[in-house]
Amino acid sequence: MKKTCNAAVFTEVGQPLVLRQFDVPETLEPGAALCGITMSTICGSDLHTIRGRRAEPAPLILGHEILGEIIELGEGLTRDGFGEELRVGDRVSWTIMACCGECFYCRNDLPQKCEHLRKYGHSCCEEPPHLTGGFAEYIYLSPGTTVFKVPSNVPDDVATPANCALATVVHAAEAIELKAGETVLIQGAGLLGLNLIALAKQACAKQIFVTDISPDRLAMAKKFGATTTLNVKESAESDVLATIREKTDSRGVDVAFEVCGVKEGVAPAIRALRIGGRYLIAGLVTPGANLGIDGNQVTRKCLTIRGIHNYKPRHLGTALKFLAEYYQRYPYAELVGAMYPLSEINQAVEAAESGKFVRVGIQ
């Protein structure tokens, strides 16, 4: 193990990330772990921070979609989230957050809202343990992080982003109780939407409608198995609605998922749902997302509207098992479209911003 390592640090909005050296922690708290980072991917939320669309403390090591190898285990951390024995050298993924396990929210099955929550890629790197983000050679996993051994048949580039998008939509599908034979509308064909398509397919959805404004993203949605893709920039809402009704016996969809982050999509989804339909909102993460919906429709159509944010540790376990079983049925191998070494982090950020790839990787 090296005594120092490199990390790319975000210092200020609009400025390039800066490579800096940090001391690798020599001692671990009980329950903590030190991992060598094999690969990270750049999430849309990292780009939001770099461009100032989201406020985060600085200086900061960004990156939360991370795959690593265990270098050292703190006292008491002996088993992974599946209950299997953990050893030095294991290839692992982990929850994007560490939680205390004792506070009100932890006790009420909302560990992702822990009062002492620590999220990777979100905390100032001036304070120990410094190495808390993915754009680095090492990462310190705080006690309260659930670590999972990655199934050996899942390649690095498929496994790396799973602890963000896939785990979140596993939570979403569970929260809205997605069932076999249902018709589904997915708003947004980013990584959340694509993973949802795969989950809906495996749940035997009858119809999967996907909306987006990008022809490239909709083409990828088609590859993942969307039965109907609809470009909401090019088509009038009435036409989109007519297509959905025509293919759902004039009733509308059973379930809709908002994973596009666009508040203007909510009212059309309410109109596209059938009586008794369920709507899961997972993408509206910026304040001020007034929905502009007709409450009368919610009442008269007997709708269920539910929000989720992030996920619980077990959802990441389900996500990794899902990939181990099914990833080859879907174009998961195409998601990471470009790979850069850590030393070229700013080129990687630029490539991610070009929108040409679902994900850009850093090795």
* Residue 278 or 359 with smaller CB distance to Zn ion: 359
* 103 lies in the binding site for Zn ion (CB under 5 A): yes
The answer to whether residue 100 forms part of the interface with Zn ion (CB under 5 A) is yes
Select 64 or 130, whichever has its Cβ closest to Zn ion.
64
- Binding to Zn ion by residue 114, rule CB under 5 A? yes
Q: In terms of DSSP H, where are the helices of 247-344? A: 266-272, 295-300, 313-326
Question: Helices 191-202 and 165-175, interaxial angle, to 10°?
Answer: 50
Q: Which two tokens stand for residue 142?
A: 């705080």
Going by the DSSP 8-state scheme, the letter that residue 275 receives in this structure is E
The length of the chain is 363
For Zn ion, the closer of residues 24 and 42 by Cβ is 42
**What residues between 178 and 237 interact with Zn ion by CB under 5 A?**
none
End-to-end CA distance of the chain: 18
Euclidean distance between CA atoms 37 and 136, whole angstroms: 7
If one asks whether residue 162 binds Zn ion (CB under 5 A), the answer comes out as: no
Q: Least distance (Å) from Zn ion to the CB of residue 122? A: 11
Q: Taking contact as CB under 5 A, which single stretch among the options 29-37, 92-100, 279-287, 353-361 is the one that binds Zn ion?
A: 92-100
Q: Does 99 bind Zn ion (CB under 5 A)?
A: yes
Nearer to Zn ion, 99 or 158 (CB): 99
Indicate whether 319 belongs to the interface with Zn ion (CB under 5 A). Answer: no
Count CB-CB contacts under 10 A for residue 57. Answer: 13
190/225 with CB nearer Zn ion: 190
Contacting residue, 17, 33, 43, 158, with Zn ion by CB under 5 A: 43
Q: Which residues contact 113 (CB under 8 A, 6 or more apart)?
A: 105, 309
The answer to whether residues 240 and 211 touch, using CB atoms and an 8 Å cutoff, is yes
Contacting residue, 17, 50, 141, 164, with Zn ion by CB under 5 A:
164
Q: Which residues bind Zn ion (CB under 5 A)?
A: 43, 99-100, 103, 106, 114, 164
